[in-house]
Amino acid sequence: MDTLTALATQEYKYGFTTDIESDVAPRGLTEDTIRLISHKKGEPEFMLEFRLKAFRQWLKMTPPTWPNVTYPEIDFQDIIYYSAPKPKAKLASLDEVDPELLDTFAKLGIPLNEQKMLANVAVDAIFDSVSVATTYKEKLHEAGVIFCSFSEAIRDYPELIQKYMGSVVPVSDNFYAALNSAVFTDGSFCYIPKGVTCPMELSSYFRINNPDTGQFERTLIICEEGASVSYLEGCTAPKFDKNQLHAAVVELVALDNATIKYSTVQNWYAGDKDGLGGIYNFVTKRGKCAGKNSKISWTQVETGSAITWKYPSCVLLGDNSVGEFYSVALTNNMQQADTGTKMIHVGKNTSSTIVSKGISAGKSNNSYRGLVKVLPNAENARNYTQCDSMLIGHDCGANTFPYIEVQNNSAQIEHEATTSKISEEQIFYFLQRGIPQEDAISMIINGFCKEVFRELPMEFAVEASRLLGMKLENSVG
Amino acid sequence: MFPERSKEKSQYRDGFEVFLTAQANAPQWLASLRERAFAEFERLGFPTIANEEWKYTNIAPLAGQAFRRGSLEGVDLAQVRRQLRIYPEAERSRLVFINGVYVPEFSVIEGLPAGVVVTNLAEGLATRQEFLEANFATLADFENRAFTALNTAHANDGALIVIPRGKVVETPINLFFVTVASPIAQVSFPRVLIHAGEASIATVVENFLTLGETTPDTAPAFTCPVTEIRVGDGANLEHYKVQKESLRTFHIANTFADLHHTSVLNSNSISLGGQIARNRIAVAFKAEGGEMNAKGLYYATGKQLMDSRLEVDHAVPNCTSQLLYKGMLDDKARGVFNGKVFVRHDAQGTNAIQTNKNLLLSQTARIDTKPQLEIFADDVKCGHGATVGQLSQDELFYLLSRGIETQAARNLLTYAFAHELVEHIKIESLKEELDRTISSRISSTEHGFE
């Protein structure tokens, strides 16, 4: 038990706030707030209409109650829906960026400054809703890849936005998606033209800063015929006692022969050991394999947030399209996670793979919820699902809610689930060979998760494996 | 909000009031239990697909239908006697109910060990009031369960089976719940209470069937049974449920079982009949060392909907549960499976395995399966698996290469899939009969392949 306490008292490594004057909207949400956001951002008319349509839908909806999580009711009128660092003239180089901001990034370990030399990664850093710096634009520009903030995209590529925004996650999809559609402030936009393989991995760090700001990002990635891209999303947030709502929407569109790989490492503030504070992470992520032979692959390592409610999904419309979902979800202390995926088989010869690893420790509750649906015309659909749970300690919970709905007899569906713990025999084996317990546990956990880790891009895989080790330090004993 | 909803309820209210008046002699505890149960049913109404538990099973056709309480009125008993097939193992130990009414002249209980009680519930109420007052409806919790509430409110007959401590009952105890096809829509509420005492061994078979031709004039029937089973310390109970009702029947059944120290419950369920047939079994381990093996087969054709649900509550340490349910779905049939295994905080040493396999035999059949696990203890072995598929091409090729015709090969493989759940049935003639029924159903359908 001492070891558990030791873990629980471990401070959140990224708990700090940056003091930058913000341009803040008044608390609460009305049509006026939405008009204000749209006006502040200088958006065209169609955006305001999109937002208002979503808002009117949202008013008719109620928050979902089916996830296996509990939390106090959210007062949506007590949230500030817009805050932006004081407007400045467009920055030409990193030197013009607020040094304090750069300092924050340095603390977070985003190699924005050194990145050009060190890593072959372009970063679109979101700092409290507005993009402040975007790098590697030129190189991407050469390849014809558009990678910019959502606001810029609305300004510069309104046709693409109008065509694809809301085409995967409609405004009325669910309560939080509708809310996001009404009030989102910024996000990332990515367009890979026909036949182009994106020359580098695209990455966007999201960071929540202002204490009362709900974060509503929106990401849209479009892969034209034969194009491919790998996108990384990583998150850390400063420590606050007041719960923060995060309701993002991510839409992916893959046309014929296109491939999108979307990887996430999420390590937001999870609240303290008594469950005080922490982020509410209510996210709608969905990809549409619109074209033939297209492929969308989701990989996620979820270790943070007080509550995670997230189902990165694939709609397999195109014939021969492929959907994948690889997930590691770790919960500790009072964290709650209800996460999984949906694979909707519509086209012929579609296949999907789901590998989910849930690790529960402390007093946390970890649920896998997945849907595999085969529609009547989806000939020869194939799904393989494996969801394994590991329990560490006896105060936590691991749940599995797989939904399998099959309406075509040529489908082959397999679902397997197991539950295990780190056994004394395993630990003994390591100890006997002179490997300390901490390392042993880290290795066992890494072994448990390896099918997921090997799907991650290299840098992320290393980070993720370290992160799990850190999160579980001392929790087995 | 739902005008038809209040109609449904009031329709049952009228029937309930008539029933209460007819049962004016019932003891106070029973009358008040019935009223509480009916109040709960009225509060709940029939579930809709908005209810997660009923997401895939739409009972609107049942909810919209008016039923009259089943009776022997107009039933040709002589004809029933000719049609009712009693397998040899049931010759000397059976209770027969027709349209929910106990028929003593068809029932025989002979040669059971001394002290073993097998009687109809109405009789039991007269002779074993104290026992029933203490045990009736103690396992079947009707809170938030509309159909259990409906049965508890209306049940007036069924079976009472009490096996005293240490008794070994070698002959199976057979219950026949017969519905006779009729132009009048009838409902029956069979109620069964089984108490297997300490270290006793027994076998109970519940048969649900329809007699008489189903013609266009035949009205729908509704069977709403509730069974309560208490398996005492070290007892071993073998429970069979065979449901072969007509395609005009709605069958919504709830079985509740409590397993005590080192007790064993082997539950076997075969579902072949019904327009909408739902079978729910809820098992709770009350003390360590319990073991539950649940096996089930559902074979639906035409437009049948078959819903199998199992809830296993591992509330205490060191218990084992093994579920194996298989479904065969043909034509436009729909299958629903929901297994729920809960492993509670203290239930260390739990071993729980859950398997659901489905064979889709036509292009229009459909299956919705949800094998779920909720685990709150770490030293446990739990797993579940679900598969949906069709006959293996390799196996088919193997048979074809040996000169067996396509249709025959398919039938053989389909039969083999089902056979796993029939072969272990220990009542020889029941097994043979089911084997015959299933094989003839398999060979009578031309599967829509190729």
Mutate to test the interface with A, among B376, B379, B390, B396 (most CBs of A within 10 A): B376
Is residue B185's pLDDT more than 60? yes
Assign A382 a pLDDT band (cuts: 50, 70, 90).
very high
Count of alpha carbons within 13 angstroms of residue B149, beta-carbon side: 21
The lowest-confidence range among A115-119, A401-405, A411-415, A421-425 is: A115-119
The tens digit of pLDDT for each residue in B220-261 reads: 999 999 999 999 999 999 999 999 999 999 999 999 999 999
Q: What is the DSSP letter of B107?
A: -
Out of B266, B287, B308, pick the residue that ends a domain: B287
Out of B254, B271, B287, pick the residue that ends a domain: B287
Q: What is the pLDDT of residue A333?
A: 87
Q: By the 8 A CB rule, do B349 and B332 touch?
A: no
Q: What is the pLDDT of residue B18?
A: 87
Q: What average pLDDT is seen over chain A?
A: 81
Considering its fold, how many domains does chain B have in total? 2
Which of B423-426's residues contact partners 24+ apart within 8 Å by CB, and which partners? B424/B268, B424/B295, B425/B240, B425/B268, B426/B203, B426/B238
| Residue B50 contacts A where some CB pair is shorter than 8 Å | no
Helices B428-444 + B406-419 axis angle, to 10: 150
B144 falls within a domain:
yes
- B435: containing domain: 392-450
Q: What is the pLDDT of residue A40?
A: 82
| Residue A384 contacts B where some CB pair is shorter than 8 Å | no
Nearest chain B Cα distance for residue A350, angstroms: 15
Here the tokens at position B126 are 């007269």
| Residue B362 contacts A where some CB pair is shorter than 8 Å | yes
Nearest chain A Cα distance for residue B437, angstroms: 24
- Are residues B20 and B144 located together in one domain of the fold? yes
Which phi and psi (to 5°) does residue B249 adopt?
-105, 140
| Residue A389 contacts B where some CB pair is shorter than 8 Å | yes
Which phi and psi (to 5°) does residue A381 adopt?
-75, 150
Q: What is the pLDDT of residue A468?
A: 78
Q: What is the pLDDT of residue A241?
A: 46
Mean pLDDT of B322-346: 95
Query: Chain B: residue nearest A418 by CA?
Result: B383
Q: Which of A402, A406, A417 is facing B360, going by the closest CB pair? A: A406
Q: What is the pLDDT of residue A131?
A: 45
Mean pLDDT of A87-109: 52
Percent of chain A with pLDDT over 70: 78
Q: How many CB atoms lie within 10 A of CB B307?
A: 26
Q: By the 8 A CB rule, do A118 and A111 touch?
A: yes
Is residue B111's pLDDT more than 80? yes
Strand pairing class (A228-236; A201-207): parallel
The lowest-confidence range among A12-16, A264-268, A295-299, B363-367 is: A12-16
Place of tokens 């007269």: B126
| Residue B368 contacts A where some CB pair is shorter than 8 Å | yes
Nearest chain A Cα distance for residue B316, angstroms: 14
Three-state SS for chain A is CHHHHHHHHCCCCCCCCCCCCEEECCECCCHHHHHHHHHHCCCCHHHHHHHHHHHHHHHCCCCCCCCCCCCCCCCHHHCECCEEECCCCCCCCHHHCCHHHHHHHHHHCCCCCCHHHHCCEEEEEEECCEEEEECCHHHHHHHCCEEEEHHHHHHHCHHHHHHHCCCCCCCCCCHHHHHHHHHCCEEEEEEECCCCECCCEEEEEEECCCCCECECEEEEEEECCCCEEEEEEEEECCCCCCCEEECCEEEEEECCCCEEEEEEEEECCCCCCCCCCCEEEEEEEEEEECCCCCEEEEEEEECCCCEEEECCEEEECCCCCEEEEEEEEEECCCCEEEEEEEEEECCCCCEEEEEEEEEECCCCEEEEEEEEEECCCCCCCEEEEEEEEEECCCCCEEEEEEEEEECCCCCEEEEEEEEECCCHHHHHHHHHCCCCHHHHHHHHHHHHHHHHHCCCCHHHHHHHHHHHHHHHCCCCC
Q: How many CB atoms lie within 10 A of CB B351?
A: 16
Is residue A250's pLDDT more than 70? yes
Is residue A14's pLDDT more than 60? no
Residue B362 pairs with which residues in a beta bridge?
Answer: none
Is residue A6's pLDDT more than 60? no
Strand pairing class (B93-98; B108-109): antiparallel
| Residue A64 contacts B where some CB pair is shorter than 8 Å | no
CA A176 to chain centre: 14
The lowest-confidence range among A10-14, B51-55, B184-188, B316-320 is: A10-14
Interface predicted TM-score of the whole assembly (ipTM), two decimals:
0.85
Mean pLDDT of A147-160: 89
Q: Is the dihedral of CA A35, A41, A47, A50 positive or negative?
A: negative
Distance of alpha carbon B184 from alpha carbon B393, whole angstroms: 47
The lowest-confidence range among A100-114, A233-247, A438-452 is: A100-114
| Residue B367 contacts A where some CB pair is shorter than 8 Å | yes
Mutate to test the interface with A, among B332, B375, B417, B449 (most CBs of A within 10 A): B375
Q: By the 8 A CB rule, do B123 and B157 touch?
A: no
Assign A459 a pLDDT band (cuts: 50, 70, 90).
low
Q: What is the pLDDT of residue A95?
A: 58
Q: What is the pLDDT of residue A212?
A: 45
Assign A210 a pLDDT band (cuts: 50, 70, 90).
very low
Which phi and psi (to 5°) does residue A463 adopt?
-60, -45
Residue B426 pairs with which residues in a beta bridge?
Answer: none
Here the tokens at position B39 are 């109040």
Distance of alpha carbon B352 from alpha carbon B319, whole angstroms: 8
Chain B CB contacts of A389 under 8 Å are 373, 375
Q: What average pLDDT is seen over chain B?
A: 92
Is residue A274's pLDDT more than 90? no
Q: What is the pLDDT of residue A455?
A: 86
Question: Between the CA atoms of B371, B376, B381 and B387, what dihedral angle is there, to the nearest 10 degrees?
Answer: 10
Is residue B133's pLDDT more than 80? yes
Query: Chain A: residue nearest B376 by CA?
Result: A397
Ramachandran quadrant class, B111 (left: phi over 0; alpha: psi -120 to 50; beta: rest): left
Q: Which residue has the higher pLDDT, A48 or A437?
A: A48
Assign A120 a pLDDT band (cuts: 50, 70, 90).
very low
- Are residues B420 and B281 located together in one domain of the fold? no
| Residue A474 contacts B where some CB pair is shorter than 8 Å | no
Out of B287, B312, B341, pick the residue that ends a domain: B287
Q: What is the pLDDT of residue A72?
A: 83
Q: What is the pLDDT of residue B1?
A: 33
- Are residues B243 and B116 located together in one domain of the fold? yes
Distance of alpha carbon A180 from alpha carbon A196, whole angstroms: 31
**Cβ contact (<8 Å) for B360 and A411?**
yes
Mean pLDDT of A384-393: 91
Q: What is the pLDDT of residue B2?
A: 38
Q: What is the pLDDT of residue A8?
A: 40
Which phi and psi (to 5°) does residue A316 adopt?
-95, 85
**Cβ contact (<8 Å) for A401 and B372?**
yes
Which phi and psi (to 5°) does residue A42 adopt?
55, 45
Query: Chain B: residue nearest A375 by CA?
Result: B366
- Are residues B249 and B108 located together in one domain of the fold? yes
Q: Which residue has the higher pLDDT, A70 or B357?
A: B357
Nearest chain A Cα distance for residue B280, angstroms: 18
Assign A115 a pLDDT band (cuts: 50, 70, 90).
very low
Is residue A392's pLDDT more than 90? no
Is residue B90's pLDDT more than 70? yes
Is residue A213's pLDDT more than 70? no
Mean pLDDT of B415-427: 93
Q: What is the pLDDT of residue A88?
A: 41
Here the tokens at position A33 are 């707030």
- Short-list A188, A215, A201, A193, CA closest to A134: A188
Assign A106 a pLDDT band (cuts: 50, 70, 90).
low
Nearest chain B Cα distance for residue A445, angstroms: 15
| SS3 state of residue B331 | coil
Cβ contacts from A onto B, under 8 A: 110
Assign A99 a pLDDT band (cuts: 50, 70, 90).
low
Is residue B91's pLDDT more than 70? yes
Is residue A126's pLDDT more than 70? no
Chain A CB contacts of B376 under 8 Å are 394, 396-398
Distance of alpha carbon A234 from alpha carbon A204, whole angstroms: 7
